[in-house]
Amino acid sequence: MKLTGAEALIKALQDEGVDTVFGYPGGAVLPIYDALYDSDLNHILTRHEQGAAHAADGYARATGKPGVCFATSGPGATNLVTGIANAYMDSVPLVAFTGQVVTSLLGRDSFQEADITGITMPITKHNYLVEDPADLTKIVREAFYLATTGRPGPVLVDIPKDISSGETEYEKPAPLCMPGYKPPTSGDEDLVNQAAAAIMASERPVIYAGGGVISAGAHEELKQIAQLMVAPVTTTLMGLGGFPEDHPLSLGMLGMHGSRYANYAVCECDLLLAVGVRFDDRVTGKVESFAPNAKIIHIDIDPAELSKNVPVDIAIVGNLKIVLKQLLERLTAKLPGAWQDRIKQWKKEYPLQFETGKDTIKPQQVIKEIYNVTGGRARITTEVGQHQMWAAQYYTYTRPRSFISSGGLGTMGYGFPAAIGVQVGCPDEVVFDIAGDGSIQMNIQELATAVNYELPVNVAIMNNGYLGMVRQWQEMFYNRRYSHTEMINPDFVKLAEAYGAEGYRVEKAADIKPVLEQAVKSSRPVMMDFVVEQEENVVPMVPPGEALNNMLG
Amino acid sequence: MLHTLAVLVENNPGVLARVAGLFSRRGFNIDSLAVGRTDNPAISRMTIVVEGDERTLEQVTKQLHKLVDVIKINDITKEPHVERELVLIKVQADRAARLEVMQIAGVFRAKIVDCGPKTLTVEATGTEDKINALEEALRPYTIKELMRTGKIAMLRGARYTTVK
């Protein structure tokens, strides 16, 4: 069957089970958009390519399926860059397709030409410049295989216009042949035995779980192991939802803004079982003082993460779901003892708490109310900053893929387009973007997308009139010199209404609940402007470069 | 310490940029890098000499393995292996110095590959040490141009860096 390159691309996408694409058309992708016109692929037109990349990322994190986005050459492609880097840092399966100038114009600084394969080399798992329409189907297949297997990540495919408009014979591609790529499966038996023995011999175990638990779908296995070991579980920001926070063994989040009891537990444990984590600096604080008394077992699918930042005692490469099962077979139930009592004591002594304001709304209070109104069943996305940390601390996550946030790259402007992607992937669920007044303005144009596709996304802005996290650091470490962190904001209600969404401004605590209830009921996008305490700080806090047990607040 | 890595890669466009980019962005120091195709035109082989302690080297190897185009990596530093480097040195050699330069080349079993009115070009192969020694010996005659290929290396005997 003779097809154009673009038709072959669409067909190859459908062979991969893709039904939804986020994108933005332009000159060099015209042939692809022309082929899209006749296809039954669901295309969501965002209002900026960055929005398309983040929406595809949010869709992927919520559904577990790869996210797909399209953009044109040059500025279209470079606008994807932040979204791709974001997906790379958080190991999200994303496949980005970009148009490119015709092959004969490549390398001549042509109109809307950018070397996007060169630009994205350090932020993709792999990328391709397609040189022959006949290669398209094979490359698409490889791209999806790479994005979704092993440690997931973004893959970019750059398609010159003459390739997408050129003709090719469409055939189902031959089996994949990538001699340099073998995703790990089970863990080394000897090492698993050693790990099991160390766990059984431990007296003060802690499990430190990350995003790998969620991407491997290993949350059930994790829970079983925690219960067998009677080990408290702390998760990273990326791991939130990987272990139910309403479980008695949950310690919540650790690290810079983690709970005191999680950080104390890590400092005093004699065994740390680190699963699907990468010992990020926001988690470890001062590396030399991280879990100083513990034997560390690290299980991860990416060998390069083992002993990268913190030297570990037992390093196991493998698919987390499989390795945890191997480990489960070798463990017998342990009994709670003094350690578990100690943890209980810490939890009682140092709970996460805030003082309710007299006249003002506290942002933490809004988050708790979102939890109450949604029964803890909402999909939460966030932007980046103080509101993100409060969302991590005060909404009790019990399901994997329910907390969707930019962890590694820390991308302001991520949460809203991501929420759009989440809502597209989970049409029957309640989706909230918890935002700050600074972050929301970085991709606010996506209101048009939400309205266009009738997506009932809820945006809750914690409006403190500052770039709050930066202001907090200026307060704590720069002698209160608030250099360029005060925000003069638009009227978010009018803005929402101008786009055709609903808008509410909330200034009194008594109005929080009714407005949230109204938002959840509404079938339209809703933007809520919560006017909150201006100089509230995120606590507790480990100052940068300090040990985890050296917490402020 | 210097480590010698023998690396097999798929001969795809951009593979050299991928490898070189990885070294620079992760802050690894390349001492030398030589690349060319193997008996199989679809596969290229690199010899990379990298500086760093054991922990750095472990990261280099693991990060290299993450590149989809990288098929195999052997750290052959401590294994018996053959290593060679090729150098071309153009030395100022007027009538008076010409004989001496040729004699020095002879000592190193180097060849004279070009003879200009005022210069001689010496070609030599050997280990890095030998090339260094030749360079030092010729330095007093004024080196006008010098080009080294970087080291290429291969395991000895029945041990291989090949695709199974």
Residue written as tokens 């005022």?
Answer: B118
Based on the structure, what is the number of domains in chain A? 3
Decide which of A358 and A330 is more confident. Answer: A330
Taking CB atoms and an 8 Å limit, are A179 and B62 in contact across chains?
no
Q: What is the CA radius of gyration of chain B?
A: 18
CB contact under 8 A, B14 and A129: yes
Residues A164 and A209 in one domain: no
Give every CB contact of residue A538 below 8 A, 6+ residues apart in sequence: A257, A386, A389, A390, A393, A469, A472
Say if CB A324 and CB A275 are below 8 A apart: yes
CA distance A402 to chain B (A): 29
Same structural domain, A368 and A485: yes
As a whole number of angstroms, the distance between CA A244 and CA B154 comes to: 54
- CA distances to A12, A53, A421 from A425, rounded to whole Å, are 21, 14, 6
Backbone phi, psi, residue A546, to 5°: -95, 165
Say which of A111, A131, A178, A477 is annotated catalytic: A111
> Same structural domain for residues A380 and A279?
no
Cβ–Cβ of A121/B18 closer than 8 Å?
yes
Whole-number pLDDT of residue A80: 98
Say if the Cβ atoms of A179 and B163 lie within 8 Å.
yes
Q: Are residues A368 and A501 in the same domain?
A: yes
Q: Are B1 and B40 in contact (CB under 8 A)?
A: no
| Closest CA of chain B from A304, distance in Å | 5
DSSP A131-189: --GGGHHHHHHHHHHHHHSSS--EEEEEEEHHHHHSEEE--PPPPP--TT-----SPPH
Give ∠ CA A384-A390-A392 in degrees, rounded to 5. Answer: 80
A539 within some domain: no
- Identify whether the C-beta of residue A127 lies closer than 8 Å to the C-beta of residue A157: yes
CA A182 to the chain's CA centroid:
25
Decide if A52 contacts A24 (C-beta within 8 A).
yes
Residues of B within an 8 Å Cβ radius of A:
9-10, 13-14, 17-18, 21-22, 25, 55, 58-59, 62-63, 65-71, 163
- Report the residue from A122, A129, A303 with minimal CB separation from B25: A122
* pLDDT average, residue stretch A20-49: 98
Token pair for A504:
């509410």
Q: Could you tell me if A224 and A373 lie in one domain?
A: no
Q: Are A283 and A234 contacting, i.e. CB atoms less than 8 angstroms apart?
A: no
Average pLDDT value for residue range A508-529: 98
A508 in a structural domain: yes
Which of A125, A161, A321, A368 is catalytic? The answer is A161
Rounded to whole angstroms, how far apart are CA atoms A120 and A136?
19
Classify burial at B31, counting beta carbons within 10 Å of its beta carbon; exposed 0-12, middle 13-18, buried 19 or more: middle
Please state, in angstroms and rounded to a whole number, the distance separating the CA atoms of residues A4 and A521: 46
Domains of chain B (ranges plus CATH)? 2-75 (3.30.70.260), 82-152 (3.30.70.1150)
Taking only the tens place, the pLDDT of each residue in A494-514 is 999 999 999 999 999 999 999
State which amino acid sits at residue A333.
A
Closest C-alpha to A75, from A98, A57, A52: A98
For residue A286, the domain's CATH number is 3.40.50.1220
Q: Are residues A444 and A396 in the same domain?
A: yes
Please report how many Cα atoms fall inside a 13 Å half-sphere around the Cα of residue A512, on the Cβ side. Answer: 23
Q: Catalytic residue at A268?
A: no
Quick one: pLDDT at residue A415? Answer: 98
Which of B81, B77, B90, B130 minimizes the C-alpha distance to B107? Answer: B130
Residue A541 CA to residue A550 CA, distance in Å, equals 8
pLDDT band of A1, cuts 50, 70, 90: confident
Of A125, A180, A303, the CB nearest to B70: A180
pLDDT of the residue at A540: 97
Q: Which CATH number characterizes residue A477's domain?
A: 3.40.50.970
Q: Tell me the residue type at A485.
A: T
Instruction: For an interface test with A, give the residue of B12, B25, B62, B164 to mutate (most A CBs within 10 A).
Output: B62
Query: Mutation test of the interface with chain B: which of A100, A181, A279, A301, choosing the one with the most B Cβ atoms within 10 A?
Result: A181
Nearest to A304 among B9, B18, B59 (CB): B59
Q: Decide if A191 contacts A257 (C-beta within 8 A).
A: no
Q: What is the pLDDT of residues A128-157, one digit of tens each?
A: 999 999 999 999 999 999 999 999 999 999
Q: Say if A538 falls within a structural domain.
A: no
Same domain, A156 and A194: no
Residue A112 known to be catalytic: yes
What's residue A503's pLDDT? 98
**A161 an active-site residue?**
yes
Write down the mean pLDDT value for chain A. 97
Residue B163 has pLDDT above 90, yes or no: no
- Tokens of residue A82, six digits: 């932040």
Note if the bond before A540 is cis, omega within 30 degrees: yes
Closest chain B residue to the Cα of A146, Cα to Cα: B68
Mutate to test the interface with A, among B44, B66, B161 (most CBs of A within 10 A): B66
Asked if residues A494 and A503 have their Cβ atoms less than 8 Å apart, the reply is yes
Determine which of A89, A121, A156 to mutate to test the interface with B (most B C-beta atoms within 10 Å).
A121
Mark A467-506 as b/e (b = at least 16 C-beta within 10 Å).
bbbbbbbbbeeeeeeeeebebeeeebbebbeebebbbbbb
Strands of the A295-300 sheet, one edge to the other: A250-253, A233-235, A205-209, A271-275, A295-300, A314-317
CA A259 to chain B, closest CA, distance in angstroms equals: 32
Q: Is residue A179 part of a domain?
A: no
Is the model's pLDDT at A171 over the cut of 90? no
Chain A CB contacts of B22 under 8 Å are 122
A338/A395 same-domain check: no
Instruction: List, for residues A195-212, the tens digit of each pLDDT value.
Output: 999 999 999 999 999 999
Query: pLDDT tens digits, residue range A48-76?
Result: 999 999 999 999 999 999 999 999 999 99
DSSP notation for A448-474: HHHHHTT---EEEEEE-SB-HHHHHHH
Q: Annotated catalytic, A49?
A: yes
Same domain, A419 and A495: yes
Assess whether A386 and A424 both reside in one domain.
Answer: yes
Q: What's the complex ipTM?
A: 0.91
CA A109, CA A494: separation in Å to the nearest integer? 43
For B69, which residue in chain A has the nearest alpha carbon? Answer: A180
Q: Is A174 a member of any domain? A: no
Q: What is the nearest CA distance from B37 to chain A, expressed in angstroms?
A: 17
State residue A116's pLDDT score. Answer: 98
Q: Is residue A184 part of a domain?
A: no
Chain A residues contacting B, CB < 8 Å?
Answer: 117-118, 121-122, 125-126, 129, 131, 146, 178-181, 302-304, 306-308
Domain termination site, one of A326, A349, A372: A349
**Residue B122, CA distances (Å) to B93, B108, B133, B137, B149 in order:** 11, 10, 13, 12, 14
| Residue numbers in A near B63 (CB within 8 A) | 304
> Tokens in use for A167?
């003709």
pLDDT of A359: 86
pLDDT given for residue A52 in this prediction? 98
Residues of A in contact with B44 (CB under 8 A): none
Q: One of A7, A11, A16, A49 is an active-site residue; which one?
A: A49
- Compute the count of residue pairs across chains A and B with CB atoms less than 8 Å apart: 42
Residue of A nearest to B26 (CA): A122
Give the max Cα distance, chain A: 72
pLDDT of B164 > 80? The answer is: no
In a domain, A98, yes or no: yes
State how far residue B162 is from chain A, nearest Cα, in angstroms: 12
Angle between helical axes of A5-15 and A136-148 (0-180°, round to 10) = 30
Residues B93-142: tens digit of each pLDDT: 999 999 999 999 999 999 999 999 999 999 999 999 999 999 999 999 99
Share of chain A above pLDDT 70, in %: 100
Same domain, A229 and A327: yes
3-state secondary structure of A44: strand
**Is A472 in the active site?**
no
| Torsion sign (Cα): B123, B129, B135, B138 | negative
CA distance A375 to A396: 10
Residue A90 counted as domain residue: yes
Nearest CB to A121: which of B21, B55, B65? Answer: B21
Examine the domain organization and report whether A378 and A448 are in the same domain: yes
Is the pLDDT reported for residue A172 higher than 80?
no
Its domain, for residue A264, covers 189-349
